[in-house]
Amino acid sequence: MKTNNLARLLAVVLVFFAFAADAQEHAGALLYRGVTTSKKNDVVNHKTTALGLPFFDDFSTSDFYPAPYLWVEKQVYINNTMGVHPPTIGVATFDALNENGLPWDPVNPTNHRHCDSLTSQSIDLSGRTAADSLYLSFYYQPQGNGYYPSIPDSLFLYMKIRYGDWLPVWKVKGRSLTPFQRVMIPITDTLYFHNNFQFRFVNIAALNFADANWNIDYVYLNRGRNQNDTLLNDVAMLSTPSPLLNDYISMPYRQFMANPAAERATNLLDSVINNTTNTQSTVSYFTAYHPASGTVLLAPSSRTDTINSRTAKQTTYRSYTTTIPMAGRYDKVTYQHKCYIESNAGTGFIGNDTARLTQVFDNYLAYDDGSAEQSYYLTLYPSLPGKLAIEHHLNIPDTMRGMSIYFGRQAPLSLSKTFALCIWKSLAGVNGATTDELIYQSDLCTPGYKDTLNNFWNYGLDTAVPLPAGTFYAGIFLPAESGNDSLYLGLDINRRGGNHAYYNVLSSWSPSALHGAIMMRPLLGQRVVSSDIEAIENKQVFNLYPNPCQESLTLNGAFEGSIQYWVSNLLGQQVLSGNTHSGATTINVTTLLPGNYILHVKPEGKEQIVKIFSKQ
């Protein structure tokens, strides 16, 4: 049985003080979703004309927000990543995040109340009677690819009577993951037969947690139905087409073209589901093209499958070898994949007969698809730093110019947490290497957040790092200071292959045991402009020289008034401290042993600034 939210908070504290290395990496709830900048499904408020029957939505044609011609609010998240084996492609996900992707209440984490609402537009049921045999049906699933709701985290259905009041007609308590379940609600009371009828799904959750996930799918209201009318009578797409690449989801086009045979997947995949009561012979197609030029990369490739009743089947197509010539070395290239069913059996909704995927070749290496379903974080030993590295490969030499990271929102926000970007040529104990070979480490940074859907924060390196063809590792270093562990990173659990991740919380590297791609992407090629938020190292504030140093370290910056500084080692232990004034300041470091240190500078009336330096 799942504990309540207060118990979960206590469990997190206990885990933090656990001293077992195999319990130092964790998957957590996604406390932030962001919003989309697309206007495709923007809210249009209440329609002036009520809808007629039938009412149907399986969320296969919506883009992030519910379709405004069917639904009033935009608080739920329309997606194709949170559901586990849904009836058709696309689900509506309920959590504890509002329409801006932030917790409904960031202050009271254990407060349960109504959160997300999904309310239909007005439907004209005037003139209807019980003899019309109206039924509202839908599918629901707790947890999905997110976190399961506890017992207080319930899901409700309300209906509006002619006097404007809303009456509860169905509810379910929280539980762990189950398959999608069908619900049939008869509408027989005359209070519902009016021209402004509406129905509303609402979830109750702890407001500071997004781990009360529910998915809704295949909502259908019509007359002439009965309690045994459980037939969807629909053959539909169940997933988006697979990418062209075998391991990466995305990579620079120049890297792909250097060895396309090795990078290209052998087969292209998709899934079709037969929701009818009979075995169906289904013809489906896979095609690919280059939108910018109109070049057909794969002519519609068809296959015929026999699919048993109420069964999903993966469809497989041979991959294509056609490419377009590489123009500029750093140009972005996109291919479009499309899978569709030509003739749909039954009388199902035709909008779910097509699925698309955009294959992107840009300036980054990515194992993730850009959507975060959960968060990844490390808990560290109290006096030891932590490291996280993602393995990558290059087909030809390239230059790393930055890192793009998706941070999971935390409550309270983790803006005070610090980390450094790192690039390793080798990791001790990994792929036969005997030592760590660190080739770059940045000054300390802080996480950045964009209030847009699945948006990454870009960090430009202060120097270009040339990389040979072959394997390298890119990741982060977490100093052993209070609060620097438990930095949430996006976790894409729809990752198809291995996660390529390694972590180090003691003195050795361990392969990640968690499923999913940690959302950190090396940026290659041209200079990277950092996202527009001030990083904690802020190079315009002061400079350090010489670095590495031997006897003294000089600070030169535009300070005014008194300045407090202190030096700590990478274990978080303070080894030097003092006060100085504006202008150039020299710190005697002769007592320090050779190694890396962290300098903390706090000018009068300003935020703390942090830099890493080396003592020889």
Of 128, 130, 228, 229, the C-alpha closest to 188 is 130
The verdict on residue 50 lying in a domain is yes
**Contact at 8 Å (CB) between 244 and 287?**
no
Q: Does residue 203 sit in the same domain as residue 133? A: yes
56-60, 198-202, 545-549: the lowest-pLDDT one? 545-549
CATH number at residue 209: 2.60.120.260
Which amino acid appears at position 591 of this protein? T
Q: Among 303-307, 404-408, 550-554, 603-607, whose mean pLDDT is lowest?
A: 603-607
Q: Give the chain's mean pLDDT.
A: 84
Into how many domains does the chain fold? 4
Per the omega criterion (within 30 degrees of 0), is the bond before 412 cis? yes
Sheet of 333-341: strand order equals 295-307, 280-290, 333-341, 354-361
Residue 537 lies in a domain: no
Amino acid at 115: C
| Judgement on whether residues 257 and 300 belong to the same structural domain of the protein | yes
Q: Is residue 221 part of a domain?
A: yes
Question: Which pLDDT belongs to residue 287?
Answer: 95
> Does some domain include residue 498?
yes
Contact assessment for residue 375 and residue 31, using Cβ atoms and an 8 Å cutoff: yes
Q: Is the pTM of this model over 0.85?
A: no
DSSP H stretches of helix in 342-492:
none
Choose among 532, 537, 528, 363: nearest CA to 448.
532
E-only strand ranges, 275-408: 280-290, 295-307, 311-318, 333-341, 354-361, 374-378, 386-394, 398-405
Q: Identify whether residues 204 and 75 lie together within a single domain.
A: yes
> Same domain for 157 and 51?
yes
Contact 284, 302 (CB under 8 A): yes
Estimate to the nearest angstrom the gap between the alpha carbon of 178 and the chain centroid.
Answer: 22
Residues 77 and 221 in one domain: yes
Find the CATH number of the domain harbouring 600: 2.60.40.3080
SS3 content of the chain, % helix, strand, coil (to 5): 5, 45, 50
Domain that holds residue 586: 542-615
Please indicate, yes or no, whether residues 517 and 547 belong to a single structural domain of this protein: no
Q: Considering 188, 215, 230, which residue would you say is the last residue of a domain?
A: 230
Q: Are residues 240 and 342 in the same domain?
A: yes
Non-local (6+) Cβ contacts of 228 within 8 A are none
- Let me know if residue 19 belongs to a domain: no
Q: Which residue has the tokens 């990277």?
A: 528
Could you say which of 328, 361, 394 is where a domain stops? 361
| Residue pLDDT, tens place only, 215-233 | 999 999 999 998 887 667 7
* Token representation of residue 213: 């996930």
- Which of 497, 524, 551 terminates a domain? The answer is 524
Sequence-distant (6+) residues with CB within 8 A of 432 are none
pLDDT above 60 (res 8): no
Give dist(CA 68, CA 74) in Å, integer.
8
* Number of Cβ atoms within 10 Å of the Cβ of 565: 20
Closest CA to 374 of 12, 42, 33: 33
What CATH number corresponds to the domain at position 288?
2.60.40
pLDDT tens-digit profile of 576-591? 888 776 656 788 888 8
Residues 276 and 217 in one domain: no
CATH number of the domain to which 419 belongs: 2.60.120
